[in-house]
Amino acid sequence: MKRLFPLLLTPLLIFLSFRTILFHHEVPPLGFLAWLGLIPLLVSLKEASIKEVFQKTFLSAFLFYGGTFYWIYNALHTFGHLSPVASFGTLIVMITAMTLYLAGAAALAQFLSRKMGFSFYMLLPWAWVVQDYCLNYFPVGGFSWGALAYTQGAALPLIQIADLGGPYLLTFVIVFFNASLARFFMKEEGRGRQLAFAILLVVATTGYGFYRISSWRPTNSSLKVALLQGNIPQDEKWQAGRAPFIEETYAEMMQAIPEADLAIWPEASYPYLLSLPLEKFPTKPEIFRFETLLGSVTQRGRERNTVNNSALLVRKGGEVGGIYHKVHLVPFGEYVPYSKFLFFLHKVVPEVGDFEGGKEIHPLSFEKGKLGLLVCYEDLFPEIARQATAQGADLLINISNDAWYGWTSAPIQHLELSRFRAVENRRSLVRATNTGSTAIIDPVGRMREAPLFQRLILQGEVALGGRTSFYTRFGDLFAWLAIFVVVGLIVAPKKRKRGIHD
């Protein structure tokens, strides 16, 4: 049990470092635990073989991911109506895939340490960033929700470096600090220099953050937004008999808005299937007293067999001014990945959707500028928000329906993803969600957050546009630096045996 304790303690500490809801109440912010939480595991890896490093890291990572993403089962079974076996099996496969990345990264760091003679604790942060970057893309489109950077949303000065290197740079700093302390406790040669550099790195990160926050100024252009949180129960959203009630609910909320430049409805909030092309929105034109962005499921094509998860920009009076189709679909929710090989899943789990992804990321133009759209969990992927901003988006908008997750940690953790997209691109970001978390976020990550599971309208004024950030211009340079370092060490000739040095 003594040998297992550090392997159990690390996943508990990292789990608690994320925003967490227990028994319908949010746990106080514990993001600081991420700066210490890896130490028990890392100390236990000091003298371990490559195989043991993989096994120990696998156990800790599996427990962390299992505890963090328990809500996936809830979404698939309770609201997606998949069988318990299919729901649990999907969760296990997903957790195992993520765990293999992290265990593989730790084992690779140990392999390179043995090969090159460098300290494991120096190499691990680089390998960690590489696996984080890969996890953002593979498998089935990626899922990097559990990146350590997302534990730090409440520490605004620390997250400002996201405008330089995205979440990858902050994750590197967190892992490097943990590894440096672990190395110091193990009394390994060179520990003092690494720890000193780690402290300097954290101080520099914090100083840069305070500078960015204090120097940010709103632009001369602003927009008054009204974000509608309809709070429609998930099990009612697609009941045909409830469609008139849902439509009337949003119509009444629109009438309750005293003034706005742009009203925003959540993802798939319009309760009817829309056929494209569409010039006029098929509802009462008097609803649209201001420009409105709303989510709807649409169908198009000669046979009406192409179905999209879409966002429509509706002008005053009901004219449709632009459409964005969600590009990055949810695997096993909106489509079956690798359908040529997994064709049988449509019969096993017929509730899985058959949506088609949009062809390109593009902002929608409206009266005061351009809107960069992030539908549902598209805000998980830094490259989507970055591409939209690089194409001229003055405001980032996320429309979501997190009712799938119920009273779990998922809605508030999802909000933290959006916070990072705002900081990375130095753009205001607003979120309109069905049940929460609806929020207004400024370009340095400060936000007004509405309560969960209440019908409400969140109004505010946001700055439009601004200077283009380093991250928007150059993207994931830091992640590619990490890849270069790791690949370079893999292909480098083996060094002669010597002591462990910096």
Span 301-337, pLDDT tens digits: 766 678 999 999 999 999 999 999 999 998 877 877 7
CA distance 456 to 204: 41
Give the pLDDT confidence of 106-147 residue by residue, as tens digits: 999 999 999 999 999 999 999 999 999 999 999 888 999 999
Run of H or E including 225: strand 222-229
Q: Are residues 230 and 296 in the same domain?
A: yes
Number of separate domains in the chain: 2
pLDDT > 70? residue 465: yes
- Answer whether 372's CB lies under 8 Å from 418's CB: no
Kindly state whether residue 500 falls inside one of the protein's structural domains. no
The answer to whether the peptide bond before residue 437 is cis (omega within 30 degrees of 0) is yes
Q: How many helices (H) and strands (E) does the chain have?
A: 15, 15
Q: Are residues 190 and 299 in the same domain?
A: no
Place 496 in a pLDDT band, splitting at 50, 70 and 90: low
Most confident of 193-202, 292-301, 334-343: 193-202
pLDDT for 77: 82
- Answer whether 187's CB lies under 8 Å from 169's CB: no
pLDDT for 497: 56
Give the pLDDT confidence of 246-256 residue by residue, as tens digits: 999 999 999 99
Tokens of 344: 């049988």
Annotated catalytic residue, options 237, 267, 291, 356:
267
Mean pLDDT, residues 471-481 taken together: 98
Tokens of 202: 């954290």
Q: Are residues 210 and 234 in the same domain?
A: no
Q: Are residues 110 and 234 in the same domain?
A: no
Kindly state whether residue 496 falls inside one of the protein's structural domains. no
Q: Are residues 249 and 320 in the same domain?
A: yes
Q: Are residues 194 and 227 in the same domain?
A: no
Kindly state whether residue 165 falls inside one of the protein's structural domains. yes
Domain hosting 240: range is 222-465
Mean pLDDT, residues 447-461 taken together: 97
- Answer whether 212's CB lies under 8 Å from 444's CB: yes
Annotated catalytic residue, options 237, 326, 378, 416:
326
CATH of the domain at 398: 3.60.110.10
Annotated catalytic residue, options 291, 376, 378, 424:
376
Kindly state whether residue 501 falls inside one of the protein's structural domains. no
CA distance 498 to 117: 6
Question: Across all residues in the chain, what is the average pLDDT?
Answer: 93
Q: Are residues 211 and 231 in the same domain?
A: no
pLDDT for 367: 87
| DSSP for residue 311 | E
Kindly state whether residue 12 falls inside one of the protein's structural domains. yes
pLDDT > 80? residue 339: no
Q: Worst-scoring range by mean pLDDT, 109-113, 189-193, 257-261?
A: 189-193
Place 350 in a pLDDT band, splitting at 50, 70 and 90: very low
Kindly state whether residue 330 falls inside one of the protein's structural domains. yes
370 counts as catalytic = no
Give the pLDDT confidence of 3-21 residue by residue, as tens digits: 899 999 999 999 999 999 9
Place 240 in a pLDDT band, splitting at 50, 70 and 90: confident
| Residue scoring higher pLDDT (422 or 240) | 422
pLDDT > 90: percent of the chain: 81
Place 348 in a pLDDT band, splitting at 50, 70 and 90: very low
β-pair partners for 458: 227
pLDDT > 70? residue 283: yes
Coil, helix or strand at residue 146: coil
pLDDT > 80? residue 462: yes
pLDDT for 353: 65
Coil, helix or strand at residue 15: helix
For residue 493, count other CB atoms closer than 10 A to its CB: 6
CA distance 298 to 309: 7
Q: Are residues 18 and 80 in the same domain?
A: yes
CA distance 211 to 436: 32
Q: Are residues 246 and 212 in the same domain?
A: no
267 counts as catalytic = yes
Kindly state whether residue 497 falls inside one of the protein's structural domains. no
Kindly state whether residue 234 falls inside one of the protein's structural domains. yes
Tokens of 294: 């709303």
Q: Are residues 184 and 308 in the same domain?
A: no
Q: Are residues 104 and 199 in the same domain?
A: yes
Give the pLDDT confidence of 169-184 residue by residue, as tens digits: 999 999 999 999 999 9
376 counts as catalytic = yes
pLDDT > 90? residue 50: yes
Tokens of 253: 């909320």
Run of H or E including 463: strand 456-463
pLDDT > 50? residue 490: yes
Give the pLDDT confidence of 64-86 residue by residue, as tens digits: 999 999 999 888 887 777 788 88
Q: Are residues 485 and 437 in the same domain?
A: no
pLDDT for 494: 86
